[in-house]
Amino acid sequence: MTPLDPQQAAARAWFEALRDRICAAFEAIEREAGSDAAFAFTPWTRDDPTGAPGGGGVRGVMKGRVFEKVGVNVSTVGGQFSPEFARSIHGAAEDPRFFATGISLVAHMANPHVPAVHMNTRYLRTTRSWFGGGADLNPPLPYDEDNADFHARLRAACDAHAPVGDYPRFARWAEEYFFIPHRGVPRGAGGIFYDHLDADGAAFAPAFAFTQAVGEAFLDIYPLLVRRRRDTRFTAEEETQMLAWRGRYAEFNLVHDRGTLFGLKTGGNVDAILMSLPPRAIWP
């Protein structure tokens, strides 16, 4: 992989710094619960289809008392797409060379009253440059208050960076994307999703600033929701409901999620790609 230019290096540094802050915040929640759980970090590397070094990343996973399983991954990869996959990627059909860096997070919680969550943001460059990502809440036992607070915080991030941050459009995009077509139901309570957010030339700075705001919004709101619900008593029936919901989450990630496909098609670390899968699930 070629040396990073200033924009690539800045994006990579931000995603890695955000990873460190999120992991520290989640470990602090475990300490409050009397747990000494901590993230275990596993580095990995990849070769691109030509056999050249293609970068890599770090897989981070914690299994604790509050977080039954949470994964926070960062990766910085590059090289060339395979010819068939290049045709499906924005700006890569005419030139298969690419660069990608990003953060991806999925948390599955021990208490079904605490919402599970997904967040990822990324920077990609082919013959075009763009940011993408988002966050969505996935509560097995939904609370209107939690859903409203999550959406309000994401809306505030978008509104502070308008017109780049277009909350109505990105919220609708999340509703459409985080949907399980074969079941005809949404994956969760929604959030925001965006892709191909132009970062060419002068567009880089505002697109990057908005993507940073999405990360800050997540770090601000999600720990608050965890602390709000983590001590709520739950029944065996509610736990069963959570495990059945997790089955649907797994179905979406294995059948429909574009990030899963991207990681597998670009030779990423399989364990890191599939860290989104829950530790337990049922199909009643």
Element (H, E) at 244: helix 236-255
Per the structure block, which two tokens stand in for 186?
């949404």
- Which candidate in 108, 113, 118, 151 is catalytic? 118
Per the structure block, which two tokens stand in for 104?
């991806």
Report long-range pairs for 250-253 (Cβ below 8 Å, ≥24 apart).
Answer: 250/277, 250/278, 250/281, 251/180, 251/182, 251/183, 252/178, 252/180, 252/187, 253/277
The phi and psi torsions of 44 (rounded to 5 degrees) equal -145, 155
Task: Quickly list H helices, the chain.
Answer: 6-32, 83-86, 144-159, 167-177, 204-229, 236-255, 258-265, 270-273
Per the structure block, which two tokens stand in for 281?
């699930």
Per the structure block, which two tokens stand in for 171?
């919220």
Element (H, E) at 185: strand 185-186
Side chain identity at residue 6, one-letter code:
P
CB 74 within 8 A of CB 272: no
- Give the E-state strand segments of 48-177 in sequence order: 53-62, 67-80, 97-109, 116-125, 129-138
Sign of the four-CA dihedral 71, 11, 223, 120 = negative
Catalytic residue check, 113: no
Active site positions, annotated: 118
